Structures are given as structure tokens and as C-alpha cells.
Amino acid sequence: MNSQLTQVVVITGASSGIGETTARLLASKGAKIVAVARRKARLEQLVNEINSAGGQAIALEADVTSFDQMQQVASKAKDHFGRLDVWVNNAGVMPLSPVEMNRHDEWMWMVDVNIKGVLNGVAAAQPLMRAQGSGHFVNISSVAGHIVFPGAAVYCATKFAVRALSEGIRMESDGSIRVTNISPGAIKTELAEHIGVDEVKQAVKAFTDIAIEPQAIADAILFALAQPADVDVNEMIVRPAKQAL
């Protein structure tokens, strides 16, 4: 397996956590990075650091909930680097709460970012991948896409959906587009900051105490991308050794 990369890689949610760490790692291995997020200043800092270190990256401020903006990202990636090989659907939100609290706006936010955001990325990138005869989607789900937790029903539903979409896209691709679904466990990211219910936030703290670094997920993505073209790593669960669920 050759861990040196030549792909053009779009990464959503690239301004922090898993997205930022993945951008740095893949750039260090030769990938050309299109870093996408809403926080322009943080993106530009990331891209400047990658380019100063000898990598190749551009920053695109965009919102995954907008299909038009995702189309523009795909178009700009191709215009700048000549092609689009990999799309990492990493952007996500996690405002957990019991269903009975009826925090409807938070539910819709999760659906818009965690499900529609993935669909927008797929819809924007897939035509370019089809035209060039190859491509790779890396979708970030969660252990919450395998097990349902109290207080996390809607979030879990969105992550189960990401797994279903990943498998469906894989089956429909006839081998020309690879799909990797990665389900992180407790990772040190900003996700827990979205939780507005104190009791739930305290319950999640037990997981944050054992959380591992985003580097573990970046390494998993690198492993999937570095496989030969006829090998598709479809699913990985990556979590702390101490995490029981």
C-alpha cells in the first residue's frame, strides 16, 4: 500500500476537529486539499499553514446545507486542480436532547447538516466523478449510527441515515465510485458544545473524559484513500479502547 496520495480531496467541516486534522494529514501525504467550512478566518489560517509547509490547499467558505454552494465547491475544486477525486462529508452537528422536549429547531438543524449536507455533497460531486470514471466518498457517521442512546434519538437517526446512504451509493456505483463510511466513537471535537440541555451535556461528559484525538479518524481516512483502486474499504468503527458502547 502506498500512503503517498495524488488525489484532489474536498473536506467539509474543515475548520476544526476531524476535518482540520484530516486536511493537514492528507496534505502532508501529497493530496491537494479543498478545505470547506463556514468559518473563513480559521479556514484561511489552515490553508496558509498547509501551503507554507509545502502542501497544496485552497479555502472555500460554504455551507453544506446549500446545494448551490456545494455545487460551487465542486466546480471550483475542478477548476483549480483539474479534477475532483475524493469528497469527505465530515460536517456535522450534535445538539442532543430527549425527544419529549420537542426541540424542533435543533432536530431540523441536525437533519439539514447531517443528512441533507451529505446528500448535497454527493449530488455536487458525483457527476464529476462519473464523468472521469472514478471517485471516492468518505462519509463520517458515528457509533450513534450503530447504537441508539437515550437523549440522542434524532442524532442517532441522522447517523443511521448516513450509513444507509453510504451503502446505497456504494451498491449503485458499479465499482467506479468507492464509498467509505467511518463511525467515530468519542473524539475530542467541538460537537459536545452544541448540546443545550445540561443533564444531557453532563451525561456526555463521561464519553469526553475518555475521548481520543481526531488524528485517529484522519489516520483511518488515509488508510481508506491509500488502498489500490480495486479495493474499497466500506466501513470502519474507530473509538477509544475504553469506550464500551
Structure confidence by residue, pLDDT tens digits, 28-39: 999 999 999 999
- Residue 2 buriedness (CB in 10 A; 0-12 / 13-18 / 19+): exposed
Categorize the per-residue pLDDT at 2 as very low, low, confident or very high, splitting at 50, 70 and 90. low
Asked if residue 76 has pLDDT above 60, the reply is yes
Which tens digit of pLDDT belongs to each residue from 107-149?
999 999 999 999 999 999 999 999 999 999 999 999 999 999 9
* Contact between residue 140 and residue 162 where contact means Cβ atoms under 8 Å apart: yes
User: Model-level pTM?
Assistant: 0.94
Residue 79, all three cell numbers: 477548476
Domain spanning 8-228: CATH superfamily: NAD(P)-binding Rossmann-like Domain (3.40.50.720)
Decide if 20 contacts 46 (C-beta within 8 A). yes
Lowest mean pLDDT among 98-102, 107-111, 120-124, 196-200: 196-200
Using the predicted structure, report yes or no on whether residue 81 has a pLDDT greater than 90: yes
Q: Show which residues are catalytic.
A: 155
Domain boundaries, the chain: 8-228
Count other Cβ atoms within 10 Å, centred on residue 63. 17
Positive or negative torsion for Cα 148, 193, 108, 37: negative
Position 79 scores a pLDDT of: 98
Whole-angstrom CA distances from 222 to 30, 67, 138 are: 11, 27, 10
Report pLDDT for 195: 77
